[in-house]
Amino acid sequence: MGFFRRTSAGHRATAIPRGYRVYAVGDVHGRRDLLDRMLENIEEDIAGRAKATNLLVFLGDLIDRGPASREVIERVRTYRHPDIRVVALVGNHEEVLLRLLRGDGEHLYQWLRFGGAECAKSYGLDPVRLKRMDEKRAIAELQKAIPPEHSAFLERLSDTVEVGKYLFVHAGLRPGVALREQDQTDLRWIREPFLESEVDHGVIVVHGHTISSEIDIRVNRIGLDTGAYRTGVLSAVALEGDERWFLSSSCGNGREPTTSGMVAS
Tell me which of 7 and 189 has the higher pLDDT.
189
Top pLDDT among 158 and 12 is at 158
170-190 average pLDDT score = 97
Q: Name the nearest CA neighbour of 142 among 89, 210, 96.
A: 96
Q: Do 36 and 228 touch, CB atoms closer than 8 A?
A: no
For residue 65, give the nearest of 175, 225, 248, 261 by alpha carbon.
225
Q: What is the mean pLDDT of residues 246-259?
A: 67
Burial class of residue 41 in the structure, from the number of CB atoms within 10 Å of its CB (0-12 exposed, 13-18 middle, 19+ buried): middle
Distance of CA 155 to the CA centre of its chain: 15
Give me the sign of the Cα torsion angle 223, 227, 229, 231: negative
Sign, Cα dihedral of 144, 146, 152, 154 = negative
Question: What pLDDT score was predicted for residue 252?
Answer: 57
Strand partners, 238: 23, 245
The residues that bridge with 156 in the sheet, in sequence order, are none
pLDDT in tens, 206-240: 999 999 999 999 999 999 999 999 999 999 999 99
pTM for this predicted structure? 0.91
Domain spans of the chain? 1-91+160-265, 92-156
- The CATH architecture of the domain made up of 1-91+160-265 is 4-Layer Sandwich (3.60)
For residue 7, what pLDDT is reported? 31
Backbone phi and psi for residue 53, each to the nearest 5 degrees, phi listed first: -85, 115
Instruction: Give residue-wise pLDDT tens across range 2-58.
Output: 333 333 333 334 799 999 999 999 999 999 999 999 999 999 999 999 999 999 999
DSSP sequence for 122-181: HTT--HHHHHHS-HHHHHHHHHHHS-HHHHHHHHT-BSEEEETTEEEESS---TTS-GGG
Lowest-pLDDT choice from 11-20, 120-129, 220-229, 250-259: 250-259
CA 94 to chain centre: 10
